[in-house]
């Protein structure tokens, strides 16, 4: 293990807690929590627990200040200096449901929603529900045999009837990076809004969300080394001022009477009720910690590991890789099949080698249909992974394919 990875692993409590062999390659489902995030969560729950936004005593003031500091940290990670563009949610799924709800007034008969074949179910089902509710048409942009979005085909589906385009930044099955900026430009050309599922992109380093040309961008904390239960959605400020709330209740109002209610300004308009305060503080802490990393070095190492994994899988005769065989425009998420074995069985057998992977349809059944399968094994990388993790997976697969096929 090189010194950089050794130092990174010291930032994660689990690597000191779980005895070897321990090769965690299920990061696309849930990444491990870093010390900074765990400490922020523990400190709030044990030394600073109070509700936010309304209290006037010192403990509550401190909790509210920390909550807003987390908002500022998350905004900085996304490259925006406007924290009011960040609304906290329970995660990507809630963020995308929020988007589908608040954009529904722009839908209706004669309007259309455009998604793609590579989407996670959380970026399909809410739009199906919105289409059923409003009478809008749901259009689907295809992918090629490698699972890459056919952007020219997507552009051909865009016309003045399309009100919303909803697309993943990075596929949770293949790791493919979508050219969101190109999709955003095409959407703007016909007056459509662009919603991005950023769940698989945010763990891989900071970026400028406004440069993508999107209007809403949803993601989860538990995939970016924070706690479960909190995520966020970035909403372009100019748009947020126009949108209705998602949920009704406390904290999202300016004034309530039986004659009618006026709503708070963004982002509070989208944050009804008591939020998951501790997990939000953990998310802020993780964002601050991630901003300290040398991402040029981290990305270079991840590319090398991804290439090592792809080459190793390609050398095994029983393996079929789903998605590209190279590292062009992709991150370290690789799905594959082992001939003659179900994905769940492969994952259980790999656990005997201390290797943690994910098996199933990965909440992407339309993409599985496109690949002509029902399930696959998925290995996904994080900054704390190294060559030993990849080699343990490949060794385990070689033994499994020889012994059990």
- Chain mean position to CA 46: 29
Q: How much is the mean pLDDT over the chain?
A: 97
Structure confidence at residue 86 (pLDDT):
98
Domain ranges, residue 236: 38-290
Q: For position 179, which CATH number holds?
A: 3.40.640.10
Kindly state whether residues 304 and 385 are assigned to the same domain.
yes
Which of 77, 91, 90 lies closest to 286, judged by CA? 77
Last residue of a domain, one of 268, 290, 312: 290
User: Is residue 27 domain-shared with residue 53, that is, in the same domain?
Assistant: no
Separation of alpha carbons 396 and 386, rounded Å = 16
pLDDT at 170: 98
CA atoms within 13 A on the CB side of 239: 21
Give the three-state DSSP class for 52: coil
Record the tokens describing residue 348, joined without a space: 């259980």
Which of 290, 306, 325 is the endpoint of a domain? 290
Tally of domains in the chain: 2
Same domain, 175 and 60: yes
Percent of the chain with pLDDT over 70: 100
- Among this protein's residues, is 214 annotated catalytic? no
Q: Residues 28, 70: one domain?
A: no
Q: What is the model's pLDDT at position 4?
A: 87
61 shares a domain with 130 = yes
Same domain assignment for residues 203 and 278: yes
Contact 237, 85 (CB under 8 A): yes
Residues 215 and 85 in one domain: yes
User: What pLDDT is stored for residue 36 in this prediction?
Assistant: 98
Q: Same domain, yes or no, for 365 and 225?
A: no
Asked if residue 70 and residue 20 are part of one domain, the reply reads: no
Same domain, 66 and 198: yes
Q: pLDDT, tens digit, for every residue of 35-49? A: 999 999 999 999 999
Q: What is the CATH number of the domain that holds 317?
A: 3.90.1150.10
- Residues 76, 96 within the same domain: yes
Whether residue 206 sits in one domain with residue 97: yes
Give the pLDDT of residue 216: 99
Q: What residue ranges of the chain have pLDDT lower than 70?
A: 405
Q: Among 290, 319, 349, which residue terminates a domain? A: 290
With both helix axes pointing from N to C terminus, report the angle between 343-351 and 387-404 in degrees, rounded to the nearest 10: 120
Q: Report CA torsion sign: 30, 35, 38, 44.
A: negative
């Amino acid at each position: 293990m090189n010194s950089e990875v050794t130092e990174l692993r010291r930032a994660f409590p689990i690597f000191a807690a779980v005895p070897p062999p321990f090769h965690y390659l299920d990061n696309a489902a849930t990444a491990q929590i870093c010390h900074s995030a765990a400490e922020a969560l523990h400190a709030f729950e044990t030394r600073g627990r109070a509700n936010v936004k309304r209290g006037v005593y010192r403990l509550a003031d401190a909790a509210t200040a920390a909550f807003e500091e987390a908002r500022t940290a998350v905004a900085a990670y996304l490259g925006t200096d406007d924290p009011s563009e960040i609304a906290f949610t329970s995660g990507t799924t809630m963020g995308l449901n929020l988007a589908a709800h608040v954009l529904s007034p722009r839908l209706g008969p004669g309007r259309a929603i455009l998604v793609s074949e590579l989407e996670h179910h959380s970026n399909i089902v809410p739009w199906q529900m919105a289409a059923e509710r409003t009478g809008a048409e749901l259009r689907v942009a295809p992918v090629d045999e490698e699972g890459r979005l056919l952007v020219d085909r997507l552009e051909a589906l865009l016309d003045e009837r399309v009100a919303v385009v909803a697309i993943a930044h990075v596929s949770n099955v293949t790791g493919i990076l979508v050219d969101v900026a190109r999709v955003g430009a095409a959407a703007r050309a016909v007056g459509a809004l662009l919603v991005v599922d950023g769940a698989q992109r945010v763990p891989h380093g900071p970026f400028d969300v406004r440069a993508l040309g999107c209007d809403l961008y949803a993601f989860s904390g538990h995939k970016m080394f924070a706690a479960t239960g909190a995520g966020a959605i970035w909403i372009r400020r100019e748009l947020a001022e126009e949108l209705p709330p998602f949920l009704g209740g406390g904290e999202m109002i300016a004034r309530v009477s039986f004659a009618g209610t006026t709503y708070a300004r963004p982002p509070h308009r989208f944050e009804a009720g008591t939020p998951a305060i501790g997990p939000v503080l953990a998310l802020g802490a993780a964002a601050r910690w991630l901003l300290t990393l040398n991402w040029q070095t981290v990305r270079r190492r991840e590319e090398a590991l991804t290439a090592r994994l792809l080459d190793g899988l390609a050398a095994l005769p029983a393996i079929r890789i789903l998605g590209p065989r190279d590292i062009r425009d992709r991150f370290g998420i690789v799905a594959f099949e082992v001939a003659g074995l179900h994905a769940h069985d492969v994952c259980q057998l790999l656990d005997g080698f201390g290797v943690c992977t994910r098996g199933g349809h990965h909440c992407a059944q339309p993409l599985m249909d496109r690949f002509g399968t029902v399930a696959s094994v998925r290995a996904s990388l994080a900054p704390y992974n190294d060559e030993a993790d990849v080699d343990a997976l490949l060794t385990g697969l070689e033994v499994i394919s020889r012994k059990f096929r």
